[in-house]
């Protein structure tokens, strides 16, 4: 788990005096985080510097003439000559050769999990990029002709040219999405790279683009036997490659993805794999039964832990502090506790099942939205009739079936992907009723939807399920779930790999006909059918859940959690971030109406305040 940072000064300007460059790159590298035992190495050039924080033996850093190279992850070349060079001279040197020979076109031959920086000090040129799924992270800021970058936004703001000024727009977007969606970060003027995106600084101008996109085929050949055989082979290969030689374990929630990874680990490992599962003593949240079914089915050595409210209260400040920006996915806490259990048991690497839903069609909204898409395929005259009857039905008449008809027509008339946000808390409450006027000043309330539209519209497919999965690869995976699991494993001091996001599996899934992903309302039709003789039947038929946290319920029952939450929300009011009336109504609704639903927004706000407390240098202008 290595991370990079650095900067390149363009033109005649210098953001850091020569005697201070070692000190600045060291300060930036310190803000990268990393596993225990990580060390920092750096290279300083005439007009820039690069640093890597990594475990010994995993550092890829180079200085070749006027070139500075920094590399993180486990990259590989598809080009035979470059692969041979990497094996002989090291990957950093092969990257320097590729840059001189191909420039930014080198990215088409680069695969695997990586983030990279190539700084050409002589030409004032720089290239930054991350892998195809966004498993690695990279943030950047342009200041004049200079480019500052780091695996965390905190590392970027450690550079003297970049101020840690909180962007009010990002506060709004955080409340909307429960994380700050790329390309933004919490800091003004600091950006995040999207999956498969690059940044190229040349002659003082910054160019961004994508070197790869999912190669979807909407109407591929219907060759089920060939697909099924290839799929099983690729699953085994991806799990085997992700396992490596480490003391490996696997997250096991009992869902389709984690059960598949655990089962393949049992098949490829030659011994009983160690699996780690989390339970909750709360009705509707505990899925330990399904984890046990999978563990028994595959002969795993199962490890279990039941989370308590005290565990959650103790973990909250740690979880908030390790992120470089506010992060409101509550399942981060059980993920951390599960990874911590594995590390205490001697594991050094975990396999996570993230990604299967987003490449094989497993999220419930894919089937739900198809119901509304059918409306758009009705003949125009019939739609006009239904709009006239149901679309503007007054509340007094909208009862029973008529109310359902009106709601259906109104939602069906909202295009994707906007339609997925109909029940978003910020949409229903109104941002201006939540945030104070000083925060709302200049905020574009449409920006989260605009970000989603851009990704949805950029999909190389006309099939709805592929376009929704393409959006989820960015927003659900790269922006949220991968950041959740990777950072929580870092907090637990354990490495993590994602075998279902192996590029071979991603390319394979893209070639499947769209109907293989969702068929007649059945999610992951091909995935489950191809593994019906491998997975337990209970796993195949269960509904999706994951490591959900019963925070809303426990906040009512546990005094410590309740005080932590209400105290955090009161502090946000005192900071002038949220309106006191909104907080008062939110807490009252949580007590009297729906604890789990309103508990989600309470968690999001609480984690914002906890993050602000852990980042006192972050400035919120008054």
Residues of the chain above pLDDT 90, percent:
84
The answer to whether the Cα torsion of 461, 466, 468, 474 is positive or negative is negative
CA 489 to chain centre: 14
For residue 546, pLDDT beyond 70:
no
For residue 171, pLDDT beyond 60:
yes
Please tell me the least confidently modeled range out of 177-181, 244-248, 369-373, 414-418: 244-248
Exposed / middle / buried, residue 311 (Cβ in 10 Å: 0-12, 13-18, 19+):
middle
For residue 544, pLDDT beyond 80:
no
Q: What is the DSSP string of 523-559?
A: ETHHHHHHTTTTS-HHHHHSPP--S---HHHHHHH-H
Report in angstroms the alpha-carbon separations of 342 from 171, 287, 302, 336, 379: 34, 19, 11, 10, 56
Do 409 and 387 form a contact (C-beta atoms < 8 A)? yes
Please state the φ and ψ torsions of residue 600, each to the nearest 5 degrees: -65, -50
Please tell me the least confidently modeled range out of 107-111, 249-253, 291-295, 402-406: 402-406
Determine the pLDDT at residue 388: 81
Report in angstroms the alpha-carbon separations of 381 from 373, 403, 405, 453, 528: 17, 22, 17, 28, 40
Instruction: Using pLDDT thresholds of 50, 70 and 90, give the confidence band for residue 622.
Output: low
> Which run of H or E residues covers position 298?
helix 288-298
Rounded Cα gap, residues 271 and 514, in angstroms:
37
Edge-to-edge strands, sheet with 3-8 = 39-44, 48-54, 3-8, 146-150, 139-143, 191-192
Rounded-to-10 torsion of CA 327, 330, 331, 336: 70
Report the candidate in 299, 349, 361, 325 with the shortest Cα–Cα distance to residue 509.
Answer: 361
Q: How many residues does the chain have?
A: 622
Rounded Cα gap, residues 347 and 365, in angstroms:
35
Instruction: Using pLDDT thresholds of 50, 70 and 90, give the confidence band for residue 545.
Output: low
496: CB partners within 8 A, 6+ apart: 339, 349, 350, 351, 352, 485, 486, 489
Do 82 and 71 form a contact (C-beta atoms < 8 A)? no
| pTM assigned to the model | 0.95
Determine the pLDDT at residue 245: 73
Rounded Cα gap, residues 556 and 569, in angstroms:
15
Rounded Cα gap, residues 129 and 200, in angstroms:
9
Please state the φ and ψ torsions of residue 70, each to the nearest 5 degrees: -135, 140
For residue 570, pLDDT beyond 80:
yes
Please tell me the least confidently modeled range out of 11-15, 372-376, 415-419, 503-507: 11-15
User: What does pLDDT average to over the chain?
Assistant: 94
Report in angstroms the alpha-carbon separations of 204 from 8, 146, 158: 11, 7, 22
**Domains along the sequence of the chain with CATH:** 3-210 (3.60.20.10), 224-361+479-541 (3.40.50.620), 368-469 (no CATH), 551-614 (no CATH)
Average pLDDT on 139-166 reads: 96
């Amino acid at each position: 788990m290595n991370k990079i940072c650095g900067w390149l000064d363009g033109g005649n300007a210098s953001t850091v005096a020569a005697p201070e460059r070692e000190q600045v790159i060291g300060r930036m590298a310190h803000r990268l985080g990393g596993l225990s035992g990580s060390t920092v190495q750096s290279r300083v050039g005439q007009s820039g510097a690069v640093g890597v924080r990594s475990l010994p033996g995993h550092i890829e850093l180079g200085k070749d003439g006027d070139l500075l190279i920094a590399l993180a992850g486990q990259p590989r070349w598809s080009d035979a000559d470059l692969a041979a060079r990497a094996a002989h001279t090291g990957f950093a040197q092969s990257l320097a050769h590729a840059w001189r020979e191909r420039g930014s076109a080198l990215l088409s031959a680069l695969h695997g999990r990586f983030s990279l920086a190539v700084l050409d000090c002589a030409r004032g040129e720089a290239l930054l990029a991350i892998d195809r799924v966004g498993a690695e992270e990279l943030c950047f800021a342009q200041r004049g002709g200079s480019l500052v970058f780091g695996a965390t936004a905190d590392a970027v703001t450690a550079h003297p040219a970049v101020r840690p000024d909180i962007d009010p727009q990002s506060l709004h977007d955080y409340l909307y999405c429960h994380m700050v969606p790329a390309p933004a970060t919490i800091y003004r003027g600091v950006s995040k790279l999207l999956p498969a995106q690059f940044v190229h600084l040349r002659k003082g101008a910054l160019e961004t683009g994508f070197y790869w996109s999912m190669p979807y085929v909407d109407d591929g050949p219907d060759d089920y036997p060939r697909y099924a055989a290839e799929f099983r082979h690729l699953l085994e290969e991806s799990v085997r490659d992700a396992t490596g030689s480490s003391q490996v374990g696997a997250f096991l929630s009992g869902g389709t993805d984690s059960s598949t990874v655990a089962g393949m680990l049992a098949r490829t490992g030659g011994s009983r794999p160690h699996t780690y599962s989390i339970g909750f003593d709360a009705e509707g949240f505990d899925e330990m039964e399904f984890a046990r079914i999978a563990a028994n089915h595959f002969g795993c050595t199962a490890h279990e832990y039941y989370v308590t409210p005290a565990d959650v209260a103790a973990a909250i400040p740690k979880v908030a502090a390790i992120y470089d920006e506010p992060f409101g996915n509550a399942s981060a806490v059980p993920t951390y506790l599960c990874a911590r259990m594995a590390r205490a048991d001697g594991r050094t690497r975990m396999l996570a099942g993230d990604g299967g839903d987003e490449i094989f069609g497993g999220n419930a909204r894919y089937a739900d939205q198809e119901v509304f898409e059918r409306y758009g395929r009705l003949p125009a005259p019939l739609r006009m009739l239904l709009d006239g009857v149901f679309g503007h039905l007054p509340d007094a008449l909208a009862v029973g079936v008529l109310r359902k008809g009106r709601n259906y027509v109104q939602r069906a008339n909202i295009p994707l992907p906007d339609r997925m946000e109909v029940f978003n808390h910020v949409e229903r409450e109104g941002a201006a009723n939540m945030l104070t006027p000083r925060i709302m000043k200049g905020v574009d309330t449409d920006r989260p939807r605009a970000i989603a539209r851009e990704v949805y519209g950029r999909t190389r497919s006309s099939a709805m399920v592929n376009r929704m999965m393409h959006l989820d690869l960015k927003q659900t995976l790269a922006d949220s779930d991968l950041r959740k699991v990777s950072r929580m494993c870092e907090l637990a001091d354990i490495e993590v790999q994602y075998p279902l996001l192996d590029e071979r599996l991603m390319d394979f899934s893209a070639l499947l006909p769209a109907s293989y992903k969702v068929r007649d309302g059945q999610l992951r039709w091909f995935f489950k059918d191809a593994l019906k003789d491998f997975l337990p039947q209970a796993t195949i038929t269960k509904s999706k859940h994951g490591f959900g946290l019963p925070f809303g319920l426990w906040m009512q029952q546990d005094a410590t959690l309740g005080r932590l939450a209400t105290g955090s929300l009161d502090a946000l009011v005192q900071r002038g971030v949220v309106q006191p009336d909104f907080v008062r109504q939110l807490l009252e609704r949580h007590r009297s109406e729906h604890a789990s639903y309103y508990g989600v927004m309470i968690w999001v706000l609480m984690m914002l305040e906890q993050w602000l407390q852990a980042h006192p240098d972050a400035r919120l202008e008054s």
